[in-house]
Chains A and B, each alone.
Chain A
């Protein structure tokens, strides 16, 4: 550990000299060690793992079965039997949050991965082919800039339906533009680099060149973008659900739970407001922290 640390630490004056030694352990391992040093990011990862296990293991871990009602009990504040209380149908709120988390987390992750993949692909295509392909794709991203996202999302979900897979598709369909711009810029600048020319002269096919050289340069941006997109999607999904355009009952997400709880503001059942919101907060915080850690760990300049 200590040996690697001194090697990867950039020396203010002679960074290039020390970086030669740093190639001995693999890049991935270096990144992993840098990430491990980032305490907040590790904490975020632990929280995220706990949330994932808690939500997707709900059928085993949840104190009550999915949607089990206790109409006689109705809405009851937190107690020993129901740690987070029950909702108006007498459903255990903790179990509800765990099951709803499956939908929220799946949508968040799905959008994060899909929008990043889509954006990377389209950005690479725009940068690689240039010309009218580039022009059209970039004008499309301009269009997305001037139309408010929430309106577009609401309209799309209204038109296409609100099943979770559709929501993922719609959110990804709007969320791909920022990473596409970054990837496009990277491809464009890479095309100008001498070593690409050199490889081309040697007869290496351009596709292969881009694949070999682009991917390492982009790993950091892509991974960080996934984390940003996941965080944004979790919030956006909950907002859409709150406004009535997201996940519809009886299926529930943290957003739908909050939407239902919003009617409880000012009543004695206002405790219902907190758990799903805190779950969103914890998820987004954890994802952002992990993203920060990844950014520092994967920064090719190795600063910080």
Chain B
């Protein structure tokens, strides 16, 4: 894991980060407001994301952390407009002020891959096994640039492979995904996503299926690409370690709800939610003496059967009846740009200090 090595170096200076939602004059690149995603299932609707709000500024990296089922992938698929037909999406997703949720599929197709791109996990299945990598790269460019000729597309594809650090890109273009190694496939997938210099790159668990050393390389590629192109990155992961090295800001999702949101250093050094605290305690770190990792007891609630109020309540050691189990808990600002959904956050943080 990359945690130990990169943790202390942190992200860029936190002061450069715009505060989420506090309404500065400039509109954020991406503004998600009160996003709720409900899947249709045989046994009735299942809510995957509840009232999620966050902003992404141009060029910044937002880490979205959550375990499987926390709704992080549902949120990213909602932004891409790729949720299965019949899924109920409410709220608002604005890209430079333009509402995406009301766009038609044809209009959305023009946004996908050109203005917002996504890198999926498990590159082996995410790449078409029957098409050469070159053809898939060329397709990514061609669908948004009808005027490009064959030679031009081929050149661009080679350039993209080179950009993500694949050696001998020209020869690699004619190979099929199964002829690539796992790390190279993930790089190819990243190359495909940045084919049209998108404004936002969503990376959905981009390193989950990879070896630790390859993970580091792939993360480096994302970082490098971002430096070159000024693309904003939304990094979705269950791995706090990955976030620590790469993100400027972190958003913690649990059971479809945002629990905490803040600059990466603040969040790591002064977590403002018991769940985040639990996650950090379960994370191996070299800057702490504790040899034992402490797992959080219990299981996340079933999306069908969420508790009223704080979804983490049933597992929380600080849970207080009458305070934590009331509906519509507000976010509390604990420091500039750092919000927590914990109803007792000020009380608990005061006690800790």
Contact = CB atoms under 8 A, between A and B. Distances in A.
A and B touch in the complex (CB under 8 A): yes
Interface of A: 5-6, 9, 11-14, 17
A17 B303 CA distance: 13
Contacts of A11: 43, 302, 304
Contacts, number: 19
B67 to A, nearest CB: 11
Chain B: interface size category: 10 to 19
A17 B43 contact: no
Given A14-B302, A17-B302, A9 B46 contact: no
Contacts of A9: 41-43
Interface of B: 39, 41-43, 46, 68-69, 299, 302-304
A17 to B, nearest CB: 7
A269 to B, nearest CB: 52
Contacts of A5: 43
B69 A13 contact: yes
A13 B73 CA distance: 13
Nearest to B304: A11
Contact of B43 (A6, A13, A14): A6
A98 to B, nearest CB: 41
Contacts of B41: 9, 12
11 contacts: A9-B41, A9-B43, A11-B304, A12-B39, A12-B41, A12-B46, A13-B302, A13-B303, A14-B302, A17-B299, A17-B302
A9 B304 CA distance: 12
Contacts of B69: 13-14
Contacts of A6: 43
Given A6-B43, A11-B304, 17 more contacts: A5-B43, A9-B41, A9-B42, A9-B43, A11-B43, A11-B302, A12-B39, A12-B41, A12-B46, A13-B68, A13-B69, A13-B302, A13-B303, A14-B69, A14-B302, A17-B299, A17-B302
Nearest to A5: B43
A107 B42 CA distance: 40
A9 B302 CA distance: 14
A128 to B, nearest CB: 36
A13 B43 CA distance: 13
Nearest to A304: B42
A45 B322 CA distance: 56
A34 to B, nearest CB: 12
B39 to A, nearest CB: 8
Nearest to B301: A14
A14 B69 CA distance: 9
Nearest to B68: A13
A17 B305 CA distance: 13
A191 to B, nearest CB: 30
A123 to B, nearest CB: 33
A11 B42 CA distance: 9
Most buried by B among A5, A9, A13, A17: A13
A6 B39 CA distance: 17
6 tightest A-B CB contacts, nearest first? A9-B43, A13-B69, A14-B302, A9-B42, A6-B43, A13-B303
A11 B301 CA distance: 12
Most buried by A among B68, B69, B299, B304: B304
A44 B39 CA distance: 33
A132 B231 CA distance: 64
Contacts of A14: 69, 302
Nearest to B303: A13
Nearest to B42: A9
Nearest to A9: B43
A6 B305 CA distance: 12
B48 to A, nearest CB: 9
A13 B306 CA distance: 14
Nearest to B43: A9
Contacts of B302: 11, 13-14, 17
B175 to A, nearest CB: 34
A12 B41 CA distance: 9
